[in-house]
Structure 1
C-alpha cells in the first residue's frame, strides 16, 4: 500500500489556503466512519506520483500527525483554466466493508473484425463496481481479439472471479464492431430520402 504524508490544517482562511497552494501543496480533507474529519494538505508532487504509480482507486496509507489511515481518493477538484488539482477528498475505509467505485475499462488486443474492415466502437469506458477495498482492480481489461464484425461484448462477458460486483445491466454493451457501411452512415448523418433534391446552400426562398 502506497504511503502518502499529510499535514493537518489549522486555519481555513482563504489567504491560508492560497498560501498552501503557492507552496506546492493541495488542500484536502480526510473523513470516514469512526474517523473525525480533518482538514489537511498534501504535497502536490507526492500526490501525483502516488496516483501515477498506483491508480485512482488504489488503497493509500495516509499519515497525518503520526497516525496512519487506510484511505481511498474519493474526489478531486480541478481548476478548469489551469487544469490543476486544487482540492482532494480522502475517505478512510473499513477493510471489511464493500465500497462502490468507478473503474476504467481498457480494451486489449486487435479485434479480428477490425482487420476485416470493421470499426471498433467502445460504448462504456468505465464500470461502476462494488467490492472490498482490497479487491478493487486498477482497471478492467477486456480482450477483444476474437471480436468479429457485427459482434458485441456486454457486461455479462466480464469475468469478475467473484472479487467484485458490477452495478450495470448484464445486457449493456461495452464494445462492438460496426460494419464499414454503418460507420459511414454514422459520420454522414441521416440518409437522404430517395427522390428528394439536395438543399442549395446559401439560398433562401420566400413564399409566393
Structure 2
C-alpha cells in the first residue's frame, strides 16, 4: 500500500465550484462506508494518479480523513468523455478483515491451438465478480487458452477450483471460446453462364 492520500473536506456546491476545483488541480469526490459518514472531499489529481498507478484500480487506498487514516477502495471513477481526465471519484471505506465483492477483468494468456489452425478467439465475458479479502484482490484473472481448440470453450466452472477466492458467476458462464473460421461462399454458377452469353 502506498503513502496515505490526503483528502480535503469540501462543501457540496454548484457545478461552477467543481469546475474551479478541477482547474486548481484537484478532483472532487465522496468518501463513505465502514464507520464513516458520507463526506464530500477533494484530492490532489497528480497524487491520485500516482496512487492509482501504484495500487491499480482494484487496490486498497489509504486515505487521511478527518485526521485519521482509513482503508478504502474505488467504487466509481468518472472520466470526461472527450478528454479522459478523472472528473469525480467515489471511495468506499472498508473493514480489512471482511470479504468484499468486486468486479475484476478477465485476461487471456497463451496462444490457442485453435487460433493457430485459423479459428477466431472470442471472449464473451470480460469481467467476473469475486468475493475476496481486501488485501488479496487481484488486478485481473488470467485464463490460459493454450489448449483451446476450435469449437472448445472455457467456462467459469473450468477455472473455479484454480482460484483462491470465491467466484460469484455461474459455472456455465462462458469466458473464452474458439469459433470455426468463416467459410467463403463460392460464386454462383449462373454468374459464369451470364458472362458466356454476353461474350456470344
TM-score, with length taken from structure 2 = 0.84
For structure 1, list consecutive stretches of 5 or more residues without a partner in the other structure. 186-193, 195-208
Aligned pair 1:127/2:128, yes or no?
yes
Structure 2 counterpart of 1:6: 6
Counterparts in 2 of 1:9 and 1:116: CA distance versus 1, 3 Å? same
Do 2:4 and 2:69's aligned partners in 1 also have CA atoms closer than 8 Å? no
TM-superposed CA distance for 1:146, in Å, is 1.1
**Partners in 2 of 1:59 and 1:130 — Cα distance?**
15
Q: Are 2:45 and 1:44 equivalent residues in the alignment?
A: yes
Q: Output aligned runs, 1:16-27, within 5 Å.
A: 16-27=17-28
Shift of 1:36: 2.2
Measured on the aligned residues, the alpha-carbon RMSD in Å equals 2.3
Match of 2:106 in 1: 105
Distance 1:93 1:68 in 2: 12
Contiguous gaps of at least 5 residues in structure 2:
189-200
SS of 1:180's partner is coil
What is the CA–CA distance in structure 2 between the aligned matches of 1:10 and 1:77, rounded to whole Å?
Answer: 18
Structure 1 length-normalised TM: 0.81
CA offset digits 1:115-139 (Å, max 9, x no partner): 1111111111110111221221111
Residue 170 of structure 1 aligns to a residue whose secondary structure is coil
Looking at structure 1, the residues matched to 129 and 45 of structure 2 have their Cα atoms a distance apart, in angstroms, of 27
Deviation at 1:4, TM superposition (A): 4.0
3-state SS of paired residue (1:82): coil
Q: Is the 8 A contact 1:2 1:59 kept in 2?
A: no
Change (3 A) 1:75 1:161: same
**In the alignment, which residue of structure 2 is the partner of 1:181?**
182
CA deviation after TM superposition for structure 1 residue 9, in Å: 2.4
CA deviation after TM superposition for structure 1 residue 65, in Å: 4.6
Partner of 2:67: 66
